[in-house]
């Protein structure tokens, strides 16, 4: 058996394609002293990774992937060989690793996972991982969400959005969202308790659709999309509203020619005393840890549902990543590298 790894072959200009990746076969590496070899069980694909594929000259908060080197992702893996490493063989770990069947690490940035929690391991890449923490941080630390407020979230059936909606619902809020298919919209209202939802692809007018879903206006907007959607939300934002800027997937594959020119209505933020604040989850460790407690408890109590799209095999990671950016996934997109 050999190791399979996905390398970044070239940098995408505009939309990313499978041609930007390369599958590499190699020998399974041996851990050096103080290192461990992990067998990777699951890896995550997330929108922010698109930014890591850009030219390193574009300033970013996270270092770019290197051409000819493995792409990185959140992974869950098991220690299968330890050379005096931090954790014994058999330990389940989650952290940042290569798009690969195997990973070598000294344990830096990895956390051990319980082997018997009853929670599917892939959840540690989603609802109990970075996306779930992101939802919690955005609502608590950024938007300071209060009981009874009206919350709207875009990309609402995605990895982050579905958690945003359920947290807000559990906090006693009016919750609304948009998604890109009628199936996803039904999931939001019928399965996970959204008060209102609509298909943004078939809505005649985004401003009106958001108003219909939020008859008393929007107090808190959890932003995953950007562009025309943000402009339409601003038209509906209430006095003292808060906009938590989590992502702007509409522009992740844009070039100078295709980038959104919206929003044109930022002056509205002045008169309505609105706060718009960007955040990256890694800057909020306190709230992130809090979520691990709150989220696990809510899962046990049946107060959180969660949907995933699972692709099979590391060789399909590039396609899964591209499909996710295009909104073809339904729920959190993960890749199963090896059955657990």
Nearer to a copy of itself, 88 or 278 (CB): 278
Q: Is the dihedral of CA 116, 122, 126, 127 positive or negative?
A: negative
Distance of CA 68 to the CA centre of its chain: 25
Cα separation, 316 vs 328, whole angstroms: 14
Residues in the chain: 340
C-beta neighbour count of 91 within 10 angstroms: 20
Question: 263 preceded by cis ω (within 30°)?
Answer: yes
| Among the residue ranges 21-29, 70-78, 99-107, 258-266, the one whose residues contact a copy of itself (CB under 8 A) | 258-266
Query: Out of 185, 248, 304, 311, which residue is the one contacting a copy of itself (CB under 8 A)?
Result: 248
Which residue among 55, 57, 63, 267 contacts a copy of itself (CB under 8 A)? Answer: 267
What is the rounded distance in angstroms from the CA atom of residue 176 to the CA atom of residue 154? Answer: 9
- Burial (CB count <10 Å: 0-12, 13-18, 19+), residue 156: buried
Query: Candidates 28-36, 89-97, 100-108, 246-254 — which segment interacts with a copy of itself by CB under 8 A?
Result: 246-254
**Contact region for a copy of itself (CB under 8 A) — 100-108, 121-129, 259-267, 320-328?**
259-267
Gap between the Cα atoms of 67 and 83, Å rounded:
30
The mark string for 138-177 relative to a copy of itself (x by CB under 8 A, - otherwise) is ----------------------------------------
Nearer to a copy of itself, 128 or 243 (CB): 243
Query: What distance in Å separates the CA atoms of residue 195 and residue 208, rounded to the nearest whole number?
Result: 17
Q: Least distance from C-beta 96 to a copy of itself, angstroms? A: 17
For residue 199, give every residue at least 6 positions away whose Cβ sits within 8 Å of its Cβ, in sequence order, or none: 178, 179, 180, 181, 182, 184, 185
Choose the stretch contacting a copy of itself; rule: CB under 8 A; options: 54-62, 163-171, 173-181, 319-327: 54-62
By CB under 8 A, name the one of 201, 275, 300, 326 that touches a copy of itself.
275
Binding test (CB under 8 A) with a copy of itself, winner from 45, 156, 209, 274: 274
245 binds a copy of itself (CB under 8 A): yes
Q: Does 51 bind a copy of itself (CB under 8 A)?
A: yes
User: Is 69 a residue that touches a copy of itself (CB under 8 A)?
Assistant: no
Binding a copy of itself (rule: CB under 8 A), the pick from 116, 271, 302, 339 is 271
Q: Report residue 216 CA to chain centroid gap.
A: 29
Residues 325 and 16: beta-carbon distance below 8 Å: yes
Helices (H), 93-227: 130-137, 161-170, 182-186, 206-213
List the interface residues with a copy of itself, window 278-337 (CB under 8 A): 278-280, 283
> Which one of the spans 10-18, 81-89, 98-106, 274-282 is the region binding a copy of itself (CB under 8 A)?
274-282
- Classify 29 as helix, strand or coil: coil
108 binds a copy of itself (CB under 8 A): no
- CB-based burial of residue 304 (10 Å sphere; 0-12 exposed, 13-18 middle, 19+ buried)? buried
Q: Choose the binding region for a copy of itself from 26-34, 80-88, 194-202, 271-279 (rule: CB under 8 A).
A: 271-279
Q: Which of residues 192-231 bind a copy of itself (CB under 8 A)?
A: 226, 230
Binding residues for a copy of itself, per CB under 8 A? 51, 60-62, 226, 230, 239, 245-248, 251, 259-264, 266-280, 283
């Amino acid at each position: 058996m050999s190791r399979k790894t996905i390398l970044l072959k070239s940098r995408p200009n505009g939309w990313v394609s499978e041609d930007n990746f390369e599958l590499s076969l190699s020998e399974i590496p041996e851990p050096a002293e103080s290192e461990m070899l992990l067998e990777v069980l699951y890896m995550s694909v997330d929108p922010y990774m698109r930014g890591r594929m850009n030219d390193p000259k574009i300033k970013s908060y996270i270092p770019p992937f290197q051409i000819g080197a493995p792409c990185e992702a959140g992974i869950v893996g098991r220690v299968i060989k330890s050379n005096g490493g931090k954790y014994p063989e058999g330990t389940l770990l989650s952290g940042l690793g290569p798009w690969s069947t195997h990973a070598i690490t000294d344990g830096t940035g990895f956390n051990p996972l319980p082997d018997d929690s009853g929670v599917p391991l892939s959840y540690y890449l989603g609802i109990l991982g970075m996306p779930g923490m992101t939802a919690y941080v955005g609502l608590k630390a950024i938007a300071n969400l209060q009981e009874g407020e009206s919350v709207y979230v875009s990309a609402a059936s995605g990895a982050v959005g579905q958690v945003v909606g359920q947290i807000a619902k559990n906090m006693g809020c009016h919750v609304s969202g948009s998604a890109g298919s009628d199936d996803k919209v039904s999931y939001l209202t019928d399965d996970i308790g959204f008060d209102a939802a609509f298909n943004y692809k078939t809505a005649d007018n985004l401003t009106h659709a958001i108003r219909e879903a939020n008859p008393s206006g929007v107090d808190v907007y959890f932003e995953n999309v950007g562009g025309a959607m943000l402009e339409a939300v601003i038209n509906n934002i209430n006095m003292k509203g808060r906009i938590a800027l989590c992502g702007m997937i509409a522009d992740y594959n844009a070039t100078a020619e295709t980038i959104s020119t919206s929003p044109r209505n930022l002056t509205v933020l002045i008169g309505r005393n609105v706060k718009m604040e960007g955040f990256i989850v890694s800057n909020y460790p306190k709230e992130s840890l809090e979520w691990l407690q709150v989220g696990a408890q809510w899962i046990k109590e049946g107060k959180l549902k969660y949907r995933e799209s699972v692709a099979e095999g590391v060789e399909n990671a590039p396609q899964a990543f591209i499909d996710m950016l295009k909104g073809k996934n339904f729920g959190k997109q993960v890749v199963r590298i090896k059955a657990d």
